[in-house]
Structure 1
Amino acid sequence: MPAGSADAEAMRTVVGLARDLRAGRCTATALMSELLDRLERQRALIGAVAATDPETAMAEAEAADRRLRAGRARAMEGVPYTVKDWIDVAGLPVSGATRRDRGADGRRPVRDATAVARLRAEGAIVIAISTAMADNARYGHTRNPRDPSRAPGGSSSGGAALVAAGVAPLALGSDSGGSIRLPAAWCGVAGLKPTFGRVPLTGHFPRAGALEDGRTVIGPLAASVADLAAVLPLIAGPDGMDAGAPPVPLGDPAAIEPRRLRVGLITTGDEPMTRAVKALAEAGAVITAERLPDVRDEALELTRRHWGRTSLTGAEHAGLLWDWDRFRRRMLAATAGIDVLVTPATEGPVPLWRESAEGDYQWLLPWSLTGAPVVAVPVGTQDGLPIAVQVIARPWEDHVALAAAGLIEAAHPPTGAL
């Protein structure tokens, strides 16, 4: 291992990497140089990179080392991360994954999105803009580093792939109908869809939010649930610009007692669920006997009927809001007696590249419609490919979802960098 570099396992972990940097076990410049080299090697294999600025990244790493030596390190000092090509980073090209002939060519934001600005203020360094949408006319295919013949999921495809490939320990993505959770599940990393409004959407491009699409949230993907829990407080909270981000306090996952957790299920049949339920039960959580309603078909139809169209009349938009609110209220009532709901993250194994389809999102869509916080957490592999579940809590109880997901992860620790 090169002098001053981090070991492979620490490079996959935000918490461990930040600890090693503060302790002087690695330097930010050696780490950044090593990861930029890895990024270029992986770029040819998985195509997950939309843009980079190595000179700026190295300059910021040098500044981080000066702060580290002076004892002035911030929470994320020197930690590299990627940002989805839908989230503004000042000075870097952010296209919103649009085609080159549709007006986004040359777009370089002059200011960071709120989530990016907050991570920058804590010392984190953008190593790359990651691809959005696995099959994109702008920058081609993104492939799954676990098996390049397999789909990586979307639309936060590049971020999940680069975390799984060990290029960066953290990715900032966004999720409207599963776009953090699906790539996390298929690439074998952890992903958090926070409560709608928990993280401001200021600087998300194309614009998203309550007036455009009230399902969209910005959230992290990382090697472990502990990383998600460490990053969320840094990016959460109102910014005075996004009216859909209220000042709701964020709880502490460490304060949740496992034996007080009531866990609801819709199905128990497949291998991911068997592993997750066993892990929660052995940790002391109460697995309730009642089965919750399976609303996958209803959520898929609601999504297809309204968001699958290019335009809506005023009456149709009003109907959408009515249908959506009725669905949300019914699901919140159905889960009132439990703390978390655990479901499969996806239906079946990671598909081959061209075999992914609308049905891949059927376990993901309902919880986008409710605005609830959801953690996608790996539970190991099956036939050599990642498998995962999702842990859903009530709105604004992100810490409860993280706590339960952490119990599952403890029984199925994340794998090291590839």
Structure 2
Amino acid sequence: MEKPTILLTLKGPQGAVAEVASIIAAGGSPFGIGSDAGGSIRWPAHCCGIVGMKPTTGRAPRTGHWPAFSGIFSLVTQIGPMARSVEDISLTLPMLSGPDGIDPTVMPIPLKDPSEVKLSELNITFHTDNGLATPINEIQNAVKNAAEILENNVKSIDQKTPEALKMSASLHSQIMGADAGETARAILKNAGSNAMDPNLLSRINMMSTSPAYLPDFLEMLVELEEYRSKLLQFMLTTNTDVMIGPAAPVPATLHGHGYDGFPENGSYSHAYNLAGWPALVMRGGTSKEGLPVGIQIISKPWCEEKVIAVALELEKNLETFPGPTI
């Protein structure tokens, strides 16, 4: 059996569900389910060259997830599918979607069929840099290549960057660290954890530096609404149906190592946790080291069908999951 690139190079997929992405990439499972509060579905998909989707916040129940999501985490977290192909995502997402009568955050909004989307009616904008963390050339080129592939199939495609994206890194960090990491520590304590991964510990310690008192937290919620409004205004004023951008600024790093430049490096994921928008990551190219690099496809809330329709079209022309040879 041929080992996936990720193993050959001793690189490690980052994220809370990195093991799911690794198993899918190794051919050990056709699909998986993850949770995404800051890119935990999408970043591992980017690193492993598979497909991962964070649906609209409120699309899929989080019932039964450990740890239970409430309070701060509830604002930004959603359950979503991971798979080897976009087609498999389109098959698994309906299984996860819709109210279950337990999770109060789920909305009874029907999931539309991607096959009914007419690409010729879609206006698309793309960006290669969010102004916070400049991606490597191979990632920027992957986004540009995706735009070129779609150019003759959609109504319009233009390079435009939402100015609001520059707010995402600091805002996500402030919200997630508003309780100075106490929620995270309580979860670990209740689970009986006596040891902590160094990368996780550094994240929690980072949270401890920015506790928010009630007036500060209320101001964060106001800023969150402003951020969401500015993104919606961008879509309105540019007449955008779907956006395409980088999944991350860099490919996978050495196993056990974190990423420099956090939280800016995570801002490509954080942006759509804050917004609550559907976002899908798929392989868009390869780095000079031979590692997969991802592109991200995004749309407004409850428009998963547009995201998947565009991704399906790209999948016909892009280098996608090769699968191990046995």
AA of the residue aligned to 1:162: I
Alpha-carbon distance, 1:196 to partner: 0.2
Match of 1:226 among 87, 90, 100: 87
Tell me whether 1:343 sits opposite 2:248 in the alignment.
no
Please tell me whether the aligned partners of residues 164 and 230 of structure 2 are also in contact (alpha carbons under 8 angstroms). Answer: no
- Give the fraction of aligned pairs with identical amino acids, expressed as a percent: 29
Of residues 170, 176, 180 in structure 1, which corresponds to 2:31? 170
Give the number of aligned pairs.
Answer: 278
Aligned to 2:150: 280
Name the larger-Rg structure: 1
Query: In structure 2, what is the equivalent of residue 404 of structure 1?
Result: 310
Q: Do residues 181 (structure 1) and 42 (structure 2) align?
A: yes
> Of 156, 159, 170, which aligns to 1:301?
170
Write out per-residue CA displacement over residues 154-187 of structure 1, whole angstroms, 9 at most, x where no aligned residue: 1210010100011101011010111111000011
Query: Match for residue 203 of structure 2?
Result: none
Q: 1:241 to 1:285 in 2, by over 3 A?
A: same
Q: Distance in 1 between matches of 2:59 and 2:70?
A: 12
Aligned to 2:184: none
1:355 Cα deviation after fit: 4.9
Q: 1:316 aligns with which of 213, 216, 220?
A: 216
Mean Cα deviation higher: 165-174 or 263-272: 263-272
CA deviation digits over 1:191-217, x for unaligned, max 9?
010000100111121111466431100
How is 1:186-201 mapped onto 2 (pairs within 5 angstroms)? 186-201=47-62
Distance change (3 Å), C-alpha of 1:297 and 1:211: closer
Relative distance call for 1:327 and 1:246 in structure 2 (3 A) is same
Q: Which amino acid aligns with 1:350?
A: A
CA contact (8 A) 2:123 2:154 kept: yes
After TM superposition, the structure 1 = structure 2 runs for residues 10-29 of structure 1, keeping only pairs within 5 Å, are none
* 3-state SS, counterpart of residue 368 of structure 1: helix
Secondary structure at 1:363 match in 2: helix
1:223-302 maps to which residues of 2 (within 5 A)? 223-267=84-128, 270-282=140-152, 284-289=153-158, 291-302=160-171
Per-residue CA distance 1:263-291 (angstroms, 9 max, x = gap): 11233872211221122114x11343361
- Kept in 1, the 8 Å contact 2:127–2:245? The answer is yes
Indicate conservation of the 8 Å contact 1:210/1:244, yes or no: no
Give, in angstroms, the shift of residue 377 of structure 1: 1.1
Give the C-alpha shift of residue 330 in structure 1: 1.0
Q: Deviations over 1:274-333 (max 9, x none)?
A: 221122114x11343361324443210111223133354332332221111111111111
Q: Residues 210, 403 of structure 1: CA spacing in aligned structure 2 closer, same or farther, 3 A cutoff?
A: farther
What SS does the corresponding residue of 1:364 show, helix, strand or coil?
helix
The 3-state SS of whatever aligns with 1:412 is: coil
Residue 391 (structure 1) aligned with residue 297 (structure 2): yes
Give the TM-score normalised by the residue count of structure 2: 0.79
Deviations 1:350-398 (A, max 9, x none): 3333252423312111111110000101123233110110000110011
The AA in structure 2 aligned to 1:217 is Q
Q: Where in structure 2 are the equivalents of 1:40-119 lying within 5 Å?
A: none
- The equivalent residue for 1:62 is none
TM-score (norm 1): 0.62
Q: Does the aligned pair in 2 maintain the 1:169–1:223 contact within 8 Å?
A: yes
**What amino acid is the match of 2:303?**
E
- Assess if the C-alpha contact under 8 Å between 1:174 and 1:216 holds in 2: yes
Give the match's secondary structure for 1:276. Answer: helix
Specify which structure has the bigger relative contact order, considering alpha-carbon pairs within 8 angstroms and separated by 6 or more residues: 2
2: CA distance between counterparts of 1:276 and 1:303?
Answer: 28
What does 1:350-361 correspond to in 2, within 5 Å? Answer: 350-353=252-255, 354-357=257-260, 358=262, 359-361=264-266
SS, match of residue 411 in structure 1: coil
Structure 1's 377 and 217: CA in aligned 2 closer, same or farther, altered over 3 A?
Answer: same
Unaligned segments of structure 2, at least 5 residues: 130-136, 182-210
Which amino acid in structure 2 is aligned with residue 246 of structure 1? M
Q: 1:223: Cα distance to partner?
A: 0.2
